[in-house]
Structure 1
Amino acid sequence: MKYASFLLTGVFCSISLLSSPQIAPLDKKVRQILQQVDSNNIKRDITYLADDRLKGRLPGQPGYQIAVDYVTDQFKQIGLLPGGENGTFLQKLVLRKATIDDRSATVVLKDQSGNEDMLVVGKEIYIVPNPVQPSVKVAAPLVFAGYGLDIPGKYSDYAGMDVKGKIVVILAGTPAKLVLPSTLNAHFANLGSKINIAAAKGAIGVIFVQPVLSPGSTTTVAMDPEKTTAYSRTANNDIAVVARISRPVLQRLFMYTGKNLTTIFADLNEAKPSSFPLMGAAAFQYASTYEDIESYNVAGKIEGSDPRLKDEYVVHTAHLDHVGIGNPVKGDSIYNGAHDNASGVASLLEIARTYKRLKTKPRRSILIVMVTAEEMGLLGSAYFAAHPTVPQAKIVADVNTDMPTLIAPLLSVAPLGAEHSSLEQNVIFAGKELGIEVQKDPMPEEVRFVRSDQYSFVLQGIPALHTKYGIKTADPAFDLVKYTKEWRDANYHKPSDEITNGFDFTAARKYVQLNFLISYSIAQTTARPTWNKGDFFEPAAK
């Protein structure tokens, strides 16, 4: 991937020097088909997928398999072609749960005089299990690298620092005074991005400093069934050690450096890099054990009508999984996931029906993909984007649907990620057709751009977007952002996320129409989508 940008008036941004794609006006017959989008179908699918019988659709459990079977059956009823492996609707992958025994793991700090200080694993430091190396034994110098960022032309915590063969200690988040667009701030704040940057600089380990530590000696990744390769935002085969510590432990690492931690933090928050070697090294020794389970992405295909373009694909994604059974709330322990993300799956099923109602199919082919293990870290989409069931070079775009939060009239949308490519024009086109205003991300602090499956495609160099609600309301006095946040705080990843909770099915119908029009306009446009010239996510020319 090419890391490139333009610097304009102090703001890291990309500038499109390309003309907008020539999107053809919508045919009257397509408008008529749009009117057949049926909210009753959407409600029926959500009701089935969020039923207690599916036990929260946790991958590896019977409830998730019921969801897989339901989607497969719907694909067959709709008339989709198999889009999975070996002529089926399925793509198999392995989910690996890696665990370490904190009691047998050791972390020893050593200063330059040979003095040793042992950290208590599971209390003072938490080690992330290694998904591909069952046994790890590493000793290396420690280097403090600020926020662990390296933004070309803008900011770098690695400038003048040699971290090859070393363990970098970095802060979570980004500097308060570092001005970035919300998508790029989310990308650079993401722990996986920081791990990849450290690996590219030659580091062999990463220790994150986080304000609050929560216990965690397990992690789950997606594995290639044929190879020992992990797919996860936080897995990099070149990094042997990933761990977490708190600020008091960082203070111990600063001993004998002559540095004042408070001053360093103040400088970093002002976006003034402050990186330096720490006085000593760390020795890690731990073992990971594995539990592997099979899981499935589900894919159906609508073949395009253009002899030249039908071998290219517009992909629709939605995650099929949820979090299963958890702590009881008011006597209910089943986390049904009606909004998150049965509603997204139901939306894609109705989009598929809408395509099948067309007498003339779109010029490009459409791939409808329900992915697994999003709640475990975008694992199903990470695997599919890296190993799609069609040639990766033939995927022109991904249109993702994740928890649209259909709880109010749909008057505006924020297409996360669309501003990096010509896809923004497709959203604007679809919005104009339906009278929907296109807005910027109203909740940049939520870093939603990296929390949904379109991000997996972006990391593979494929233009992608995720359409979320905007903030426009019929009543200017009504604060939709506040209302949405309050609703989410009460229901997100809770047993109360059920079919009976807050659905606006008129909005759901309009949301399906919008996302259909986005993908349809991409499929019909002769030119394939392009990244904005010089955009950070634009792949390097081959």
Structure 2
Amino acid sequence: MNKLFYCFIIFPALLISGCQSSPETEEAAQSITEEKLLSHIEVISSDEFEGRATASEGEEKTVNYLVNELESLGVSPGMDNGSYVQEFPLLGQTVEPSSASYTLKQNGQVLNDLEFRADFVAWPANEAEQVDVNDAELLYVGYGIQAPEFDWDDYKDADIEGKVLVFKNSDPSYDENIFGGEGRLYYGRWSYKFEKAADMGALGAIIIHTTPTAGYGWNVVSNSWSGEQFYLKSEEGEAETMPDFNSWLTEPVSAELFEAAGLNLNEMLEAADDPEFQPVPLDGITVDVDLEANYSNMSSRNVLGEIKGNDPDLMDQYLIFTAHYDHLGITNPVEGDSINNGALDNAAGVSSLLNLAEAYKMVQPEMQRSALFLFVGAEEMGLLGSKYWAANPTVHPGNVTANFNLDGMQVYGQTEDVVLVGYGRNTITDVFEDYAQMGDRTIAPDPYPEQGYFYRSDHFALAQIGIPAVFPNPGQEYINKPDDWSETVDSLDTANYHSVNDEINELWDLSGMEQDVRLFFRTSFDILNRNEMMEWYSGDEFEAVREEMLEEAP
């Protein structure tokens, strides 16, 4: 335990021994206050910032604000060229609804001409402007998963080349010993299905939508995939390799499709849970797909600041904090309001990072490793800022001990618990539990593991390159609030999410946010100063890439 200063401190009226702290670190933790947390939220969620849409004047104002704040705190630029800004190119894609044609055929005869948005959504891949597919055969591949660690292969050496693959969404959940049980691994994400179709040489991909397997209704699919989509722009000649097209079909259309092939949709969905499942051709059924897409060029930016550690052997290793600063910008008016201010999502997370940076500057002399504060752009477009950083890291992933991702905070009061998305997947959990216990609090796992939240925020891109990551979420066991307060908060979050109503309101109580961010500071400061780096638990899906990155690290 060399290089660490151990002492007794007073920690919320509790005497604690053996913790890695000092009067200076506790003073830094106490410097994180409700008032300071609210101040940044008030600024960047104001109408002046126009909802912080990507590639907008609101983004420009937000980036300038972040750079100015980091400079005023004495936080150094995080780029090698002395800049705080990492710019990245984006490509916007819009499918022309009037020309989007999706025709199912049976033995060469039209079975169903589908309606865009109502029956299907589809888009060209690989930055293609047009898709023209005729009489493509369909092959149902169940979940479409290949997972050697679970001895699972849905393809069974089937002939995939030139076919359109039909997938059941999600992943098997009947056995807690595989695929995380009720939790959803990346294997269950729609993005995995599309990537796997490309790997297998498929011509196209279809995901069958059902509300239970998706976790949301068809309206979410239709709204999400029928407007402009955004991608990281590839270098010339290096477009992302995908099938010619990706698509979703509604459950009723899918049922009709299977029935025409002499199959029952529900029976086929159930059959996918069998490890011995064999791909099933939809005999006599083909699909014609015609799509046209227009593209627009734009760019967004990540903002990076770093606070350097002092240990000669550890200062080139980092703990990374992430929070996305973008939101939805200006949309159609609702009762005269058209600005999506994004106060909770994610001005609150941005403010937390700025307050953590200020606290870390207070204890910089005690820091052994370094801290990187990464404010990412274009999260609402598909985690694009974090994906870009992961593909172009400013720190080698093998030199990063952990990632704390803050996206949405506890703004409705203090809680006895903190939810940790990523609970039990890596050793960060252990440290969190120690510090929560010191404050008479508990760490709770994600209460909705079937929703796959671990794969839906910016930490996921860092996990994919091996970095142990966690995504703290608000607790649900409220202190000194009405008995139905949790239900009230849930209804508010549902009503306000991705709407013009995501604003500071009269029910906000940032004592809970103050409590949580202080916990994140104490926990992260311990992790940053430990001799050992954080690691994924044995058998985790990111363990192998972590080991690879550690070996490659300079």
User: Normalising by the residue count of structure 2, what TM-score does the alignment of the two structures yield?
Assistant: 0.85
**Partner Cα distance (1:361, 1:225) in 2:** 42
Q: Does 1:253 align with 2:248?
A: no
The 5-angstrom pairing of residues 30-429 of structure 1 reads 30-84=25-79, 86-109=81-104, 111=106, 113-115=107-109, 117=111, 119-120=113-114, 122=116, 123-130=118-125, 132-139=127-134, 140-152=136-148, 153=150, 155-159=152-156, 161-174=158-171, 177=174, 179=176, 180-181=179-180, 184-185=183-184, 187-211=186-210, 212=218, 214=222, 216-224=225-233, 226-227=235-236, 237-255=241-259, 257-268=261-272, 273=277, 275-279=279-283, 280-429=285-434
**Partner Cα distance (1:165, 1:200) in 2:** 12
The 5-angstrom pairing of residues 425-436 of structure 1 reads 425-436=430-441
| Aligned twin of 1:459 | 464
Q: CA deviation at 1:75?
A: 0.5
| Aligned twin of 1:519 | 524
CA distance change for structure 1 residues 501 and 341 in 2, over 3 Å: closer, same or farther?
farther
Once the two structures are superposed, what CA deviation does each residue of 1:179-237 show, in whole Å capped at 9, x if it has no partner? Answer: 4537951533321122223333333321112143625444433425755656xxxxx51
CA distance change for structure 1 residues 66 and 534 in 2, over 3 Å: closer, same or farther?
same
Greater mean deviation of Cα atoms: 213-222 or 407-416 = 213-222
**Partner Cα distance (2:343, 2:467) in 1:** 29
CA distance change for structure 1 residues 324 and 287 in 2, over 3 Å: closer, same or farther?
same
The alignment partner of 1:30 has SS state of helix
CA distance change for structure 1 residues 518 and 292 in 2, over 3 Å: closer, same or farther?
farther
In structure 1, the gaps of 5 or more residues are 1-22, 231-235
CA distance change for structure 1 residues 333 and 186 in 2, over 3 Å: closer, same or farther?
farther
Q: CA deviation at 1:167?
A: 1.4
The one-letter amino acid of 1:249's match is V
Once the two structures are superposed, what CA deviation does each residue of 1:132-179 show, in whole Å capped at 9, x if it has no partner? Answer: 223334454210122333444265433453424321111333456454
Bigger relative contact order (CA 8 A; separation at least 6): 1
In structure 2, the gaps of 5 or more residues are 1-17, 211-217, 549-554
**Partner Cα distance (2:485, 2:189) in 1:** 27
Counterpart contact for 1:102–1:121, Cα < 8 Å: no
The one-letter amino acid of 1:172's match is N
Alignment RMSD (CA, Å): 2.8
The alignment partner of 2:519 has SS state of helix
| Aligned twin of 2:213 | none
Counterpart contact for 1:186–1:448, Cα < 8 Å: no
CA distance change for structure 1 residues 495 and 186 in 2, over 3 Å: closer, same or farther?
farther
User: Normalising by the residue count of structure 1, what TM-score does the alignment of the two structures yield?
Assistant: 0.87
More helix per residue: 1 or 2?
2
Once the two structures are superposed, what CA deviation does each residue of 1:476-508 show, in whole Å capped at 9, x if it has no partner? Answer: 983554333112123222222212343222222
Counterpart contact for 1:473–1:480, Cα < 8 Å: yes
**Partner Cα distance (1:63, 1:30) in 2:** 35
**Partner Cα distance (1:479, 1:95) in 2:** 44
**Identical columns (%):** 30
The alignment partner of 1:29 has SS state of helix
Q: CA deviation at 1:58?
A: 0.6
| Aligned twin of 2:6 | none
**Partner Cα distance (2:364, 2:245) in 1:** 55
Counterpart contact for 2:403–2:462, Cα < 8 Å: yes
**Partner Cα distance (1:430, 1:129) in 2:** 48
**Partner Cα distance (2:249, 2:383) in 1:** 24
CA distance change for structure 1 residues 482 and 156 in 2, over 3 Å: closer, same or farther?
farther
Q: CA deviation at 1:466?
A: 0.6
**Partner Cα distance (1:336, 1:539) in 2:** 40
